[in-house]
């Protein structure tokens, strides 16, 4: 690993100031992704600004019923927060389906958003990767692409975003609060991560000097009836082939409210807007769930080794919504 200068920031302005002094500096959180990428020489920062000691390590309940999660809060602390477990069970679930117990104790919420893809070709220095080396090509498109994306892909990149937590946050319409040289701003969750288009190396809307300070999750009463399901090649400790985060409210057999997002299928946590539109106000039953799934996957594009994901995503959507309809009292 290339050596680097290490410093610790005590507050956000200091952190932003330190990062602004060096174009090749990066923030360091729990390190569970960055340290690995540095060891592989994929990331080669000159300096790291440790932001785990910042004061953003609290989970606060907001007056409007929402919740604010500090960026330095550990993943396991979010999963074990009583209010989160009760109000947003699928958020706690999504976290618990990701990584291992040890990694969840280290990884921060802000760092979870900044994870980079686990595409094999991105990790392999001998391979072409537009994300690692812009305009070098993408070896995944004609390569072994079982883990790769089926939605929102481009001719430059078919990588997926690896996070589970972010899938639930996408469904919840969370807001990412950041602080930079030019002050503070709030980024809607769906605008935070980007699709690859022809610049797959630019993965988020975050500017180089900006630090994530908190994630705000709005009040969403019906999220009490929510579920995260993850399909993977091993029973545990593996990245998703497909995952579904959903919250559903049914009244007199009719869908009153629904939120749906998919993981393992795109360059970003995929909010299923098409399916949500198809589900609004219709009867909560397998046929309508299936129609919504078809609508969401209508533009899906499979590659040699991942075409199965299209059908897998549809069936998982139907299965998760059916289970929620049953739990949520559809009659």
Would you say 123 or 144 has its CB closer to another protein?
123
Token pair for 11:
């507050």
Question: Tell me, what DSSP letter sits at residue 251?
Answer: E
Taking the least distance from each CB to another protein, the nearer of 17 and 199 is 17
Task: Kindly write out the interface string for residues 117-136 of this chain, putting x where it contacts another protein by CB under 8 A and - elsewhere.
Answer: --------------------
**Any contact of residue 137 with another protein (CB under 8 A)?**
no
Stretch that binds another protein, among 22-30, 129-137, 277-285, 295-303 (CB under 8 A): 22-30
Piece of the chain touching another protein by CB under 8 A; list 77-85, 182-190, 210-218, 321-329? 77-85
Q: Quick check: helix, strand or coil at residue 59?
A: strand
Nearer to another protein, 3 or 135 (CB): 3
The CA distance from 224 to 120, in Å, is 37
Out of 61, 66, 85, 305, the only residue in the binding site for another protein (CB under 8 A) is: 85
Please select the residue that binds another protein; options are 60, 86, 125, 233, rule is CB under 8 A.
Answer: 86
Any contact of residue 93 with another protein (CB under 8 A)? yes
Q: Is 7 in the site for another protein (CB under 8 A)?
A: yes
> Cα–Cα distance between 195 and 130 in angstroms, integer?
13
Which of 12, 16, 18, 140 contacts another protein by CB under 8 A?
Answer: 18
Q: How big is the CA angle at 109 (ends 107 and 112), to the nearest 5 degrees?
A: 70
254 beta partners: 251, 283
Site string for another protein, 170-209 (x = CB under 8 A): ----------------------------------------
Torsion sign, CA atoms 187, 192, 197, 203: positive
35 lies in the site for another protein, by CB under 8 A: yes
- Minimum CB distance to another protein, residue 326 (Å): 15
For tokens 């919740």, name the residue.
67
Tokens standing for residue 69: 């999660």
Q: Provide DSSP, 140-152.
A: STTS--TT--SSS
What gap in Å lies between CA 217 and CA 289, rounded to an integer?
A: 26
Supply the DSSP string of 253-310, one letter for each residue.
Answer: TEEEEEEEEEESSSSS-EE-HHHHHHHTTSB-SHHHHHHHHHHHHTT----TTTTHHH
Q: 226 to 255, contacts with another protein by CB under 8 A? A: 230, 235-237
Position among 92, 211, 223, 248 found at the interface with another protein (CB under 8 A): 92
Compute how many residues bind another protein; rule: CB under 8 A: 47
What kind and span of H or E run contains 186? strand 183-188
185-to-19, 69, 97, 101, 291 alpha-carbon distances in Å: 18, 16, 30, 32, 38
- The residues that touch another protein, with contacts defined as CB under 8 A, are 1-8, 18, 21-22, 24-25, 28, 31-32, 35-36, 38-39, 46-50, 52, 76, 79-80, 85-86, 89, 92-93, 96-97, 99-103, 105-106, 230, 235-237
């Amino acid at each position: 690993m290339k050596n680097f200068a290490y410093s610790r920031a005590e507050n956000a302005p200091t952190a932003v100031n330190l990062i602004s002094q060096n174009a090749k500096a990066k923030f360091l959180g729990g390190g569970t992704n960055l340290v690995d990428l540095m060891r592989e020489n994929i990331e080669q920062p000159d300096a790291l600004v440790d932001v785990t000691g910042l004061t953003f390590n609290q989970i606060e309940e907001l007056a409007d019923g929402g919740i604010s999660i500090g960026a330095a809060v550990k993943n396991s602390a979010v999963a074990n927060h009583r209010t989160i477990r009760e109000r947003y069970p699928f958020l706690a679930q999504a976290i618990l389906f990701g990584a291992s117990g040890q990694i969840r104790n280290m990884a921060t919420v802000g760092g979870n958003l900044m994870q980079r893809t686990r595409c094999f070709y991105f990790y392999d220095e001998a391979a072409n990767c537009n994300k690692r080396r812009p305009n070098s090509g993408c070896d995944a498109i004609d390569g072994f692409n079982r883990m790769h994306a089926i939605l929102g892909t481009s001719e430059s990149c078919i990588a997926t975003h690896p996070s589970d937590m972010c899938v639930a946050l996408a469904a919840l319409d969370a807001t990412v609060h950041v602080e930079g040289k030019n002050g503070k701003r709030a980024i809607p969750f769906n605008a935070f991560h980007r699709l690859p288009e022809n610049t797959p190396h630019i993965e988020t809307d975050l500017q180089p000097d900006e630090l994530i300070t908190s994630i705000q999750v709005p009040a969403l009463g019906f999220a009490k009836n929510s579920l995260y399901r993850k399909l993977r090649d091993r029973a545990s400790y593996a990245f998703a082939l497909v995952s579904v985060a959903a919250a559903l409210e049914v009244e007199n057999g009719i869908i009153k409210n629904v939120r749906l997002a998919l993981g393992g299928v795109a360059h970003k946590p995929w909010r299923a807007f098409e399916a949500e539109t198809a589900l609004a106000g219709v009867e909560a039953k397998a046929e309508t769930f299936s129609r919504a799934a078809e609508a969401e996957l209508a533009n899906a594009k499979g590659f040699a080794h991942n075409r199965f994901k299209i059908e897998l995503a549809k069936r998982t959507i139907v299965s998760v919504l059916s289970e929620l309809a049953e739990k949520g009292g559809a009659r």
